[in-house]
């Protein structure tokens, strides 16, 4: 990836339907993060106007849209989201080659388009239940490689998947990694976590950090501490 674009690799996940709270959080932590990640909760509640209001703060925005539909529909959605001045958005690689190529073409080159491979909430048994053969680990690499061949810029992945994806997709593939927990912090519902430093050392490009920052008594201090832990 281009290192000058995301000098601070931390994107804070702002998971709230409340625009005022989202703006307040973003302003509080803005100086200590590299960007903002807005997901389905915020996007569904606040829509393009909410996204535009957040974009005005001037931080790169990762819209965690996770589009998955027929190629024509995803292309239309990709075109619209790319117009909103965001830095990154995503689609499900399992939507297939035609869908990914259509999204890439419609989004244009000014925005990073990345793929979700296998949701980290699914294990091998879940995949078996929906008729998918092979392990989650195999499926992650298969879908990451397919996304790359369709012109996508990278994938969202668990820190524990970085090594296998780097081996298959090389050093220029953008790896965006959630499931990050500073040492000693509450895991909440995340299971296999890494600290920010460990994930960067493992080869992550962008670290998505939510509750360790947004749920802290002092979000500004929490974001600053994470940023400092990356400079040591």
| Site residues for ligand C5P per CB under 6 A | 13, 15, 39, 119-120, 156, 178-179, 188, 190, 208-212
Strand partners, 151: none
Q: How far is CA 165 from CA 26, 121, 198, in A?
A: 31, 18, 17
Nearer to ligand C5P, 39 or 71 (CB): 39
Q: What is the closest distance, in whole angstroms, from the C-beta atom of residue 152 to ligand C5P in the complex?
A: 16
Q: What is the closest distance, in whole angstroms, from the C-beta atom of residue 66 to ligand C5P in the complex?
A: 8
Nearer to ligand C5P, 204 or 209 (CB): 209
Nearer to ligand C5P, 60 or 179 (CB): 179
Residues acting as catalytic residues: 66
CA distance 39 to 53: 15
Q: What is the closest distance, in whole angstroms, from the C-beta atom of residue 179 to ligand C5P in the complex?
A: 6
Q: Where are the beta strands (DSSP E) in the chain?
A: 10-14, 35-38, 61-67, 88-92, 112-116, 154-156, 174-177, 206-209
CA distance 204 to 185: 20
CA distance 132 to 139: 9
């Amino acid at each position: 990836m281009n290192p000058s674009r995301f000098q601070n690799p931390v994107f804070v996940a702002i998971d709230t339907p409340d625009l005022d709270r989202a703006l307040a959080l973003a302003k509080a932590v803005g100086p200590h993060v590299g960007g903002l990640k807005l997901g389905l909760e915020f996007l569904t509640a606040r829509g393009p106007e909410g996204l535009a209001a957040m974009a005005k703060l001037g931080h790169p925005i990762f819209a965690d849209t996770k589009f998955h539909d027929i190629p024509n529909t995803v292309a239309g959605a990709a075109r619209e989201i790319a117009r909103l001045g965001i830095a990154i958005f995503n689609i499900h690689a399992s939507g297939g080659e035609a869908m990914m190529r259509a999204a890439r073409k419609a989004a244009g080159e000014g925005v990073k388009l990345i793929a979700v491979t296998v949701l980290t909430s699914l294990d091998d048994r879940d995949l078996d239940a929906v008729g998918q053969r092979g392990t989650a680990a195999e499926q992650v690499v298969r879908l990451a490689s397919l996304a790359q061949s369709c012109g996508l810029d990278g994938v969202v992945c668990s820190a524990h998947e970085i090594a296998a994806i780097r081996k298959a997709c090389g050093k220029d593939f953008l790896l965006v990694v959630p499931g990050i927990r500073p040492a000693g912090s509450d895991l909440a519902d995340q299971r296999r976590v890494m600290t920010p430093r460990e994930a960067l050392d493992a080869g992550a490009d962008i670290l998505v950090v939510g509750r360790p920052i947004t749920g802290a008594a002092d979000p500004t201090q929490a974001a600053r501490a994470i940023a400092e832990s990356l400079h040591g």
